[in-house]
Amino acid sequence: MLGLRGWAAEGEEMIVARNILLAERTKARVHCQHLSSAGSVRLLREAKQRGVPISGEACPHHFTLTDAAVAGSEEFWATDGKGLLPGAKPSKLPRWPAFDTLLKMNPPLRTAADRAAIIEGVVDGTIEVLASDHAPHCNFEKEVEFDYAPFGITGLETELALSLAAFVHSKRMTLTDMIARFTTGPARLLKLANKGSLAPGSDGDVTIFDPDTEWVFTPEGTASKSKNSPFYGWPLKGRADATIVAGRIVWRDPGSGSSR
């Protein structure tokens, strides 16, 4: 699996093009992580139509946020964020300053057109996998000027709700199709016959969740020791209640069954 590093969209697209050429020449499968640009999606789609053994994944921050968010919450909600949280009153929208280091990740946030292309790529199957790009950091690492802050955000706790918002609650995809991007898609890519499904003989790995549970993500409520998420204060819909591994419950949300 090859990650995509570099600030410019053109740089990312050059890497994707190189990966496609390698896969086409060697016939070896190549997987492109963290796609973030429209050009990358176009290259991937065209290559797959030619039968090239290439695949890609996307992360929630790249199909939710845009580079306008780096200019601050006021700029984002007035432009690219319009309609993103339809049930939230303007006074209740999450707020953050310009050049908030919680918005610094690699690949970086890109334009609204890039975001739309990533969404389209997930919907039409060009992008087969959804992932979190979970990258914890200590508070002091992010409490510096934007240029000096490390890349990376946490994403495990919000990836389900953000994916539901972008694809299911928006009516772009069915719940079954979205779940496939988290389960059968990765299992097929990694050739894990006993993973990714509930078929007889599978390992019995299950996440139980309610797609309509409403909640707000907060630093106080996170299960992570790291607090570097750009989605604190966001009203979300859809949350995991329990995780089962090999038929055994290994985690249960302590708030399940409460008034939350």
Q: Could you report the per-residue pLDDT of 36-72, keeping only the tens digit for each?
A: 999 999 999 999 999 999 999 999 999 999 999 999 9
Residue 217 and residue 118: Cα distance in Å, rounded? Answer: 24
φ, ψ for residue 31 (rounded to 5)?
Answer: -115, 130
> Long-range contacts: 185-191, Cβ < 8 Å, 24+?
185/128, 185/129, 185/130, 186/129, 186/131, 188/128, 189/29, 189/31, 189/55, 189/128, 189/129
Q: What is the mean pLDDT of residues 200-228?
A: 94
* CATH dotted code for 9-195: 3.20.20.140
Enter the tokens of residue 116.
């739309």
Adjacent-strand bridge partners of 245:
248
User: What pLDDT score was predicted for residue 1?
Assistant: 47
Active site residue 133: yes
Count helices and strands in the chain by DSSP H and E runs: 9, 6
Of residues 119, 129, 118, 131, the one with CA closest to residue 167: 119
H/E stretch holding 118: helix 112-123
The 10s digit of each residue's pLDDT in 86-139 is 888 888 899 999 999 999 999 999 999 999 999 999 999 999 999 999 999 999
The single residue of 100, 114, 133, 205 carrying the catalytic annotation is 133
Of residues 73, 110, 87, the one with CA closest to residue 230: 73
Q: What is the mean pLDDT of residues 206-217?
A: 96
What is the Cβ-side half-sphere exposure of residue 242, based on CA atoms within 13 angstroms? 12
User: What pLDDT score was predicted for residue 256?
Assistant: 62
The sign of the CA dihedral 211, 214, 219, 223 is: negative
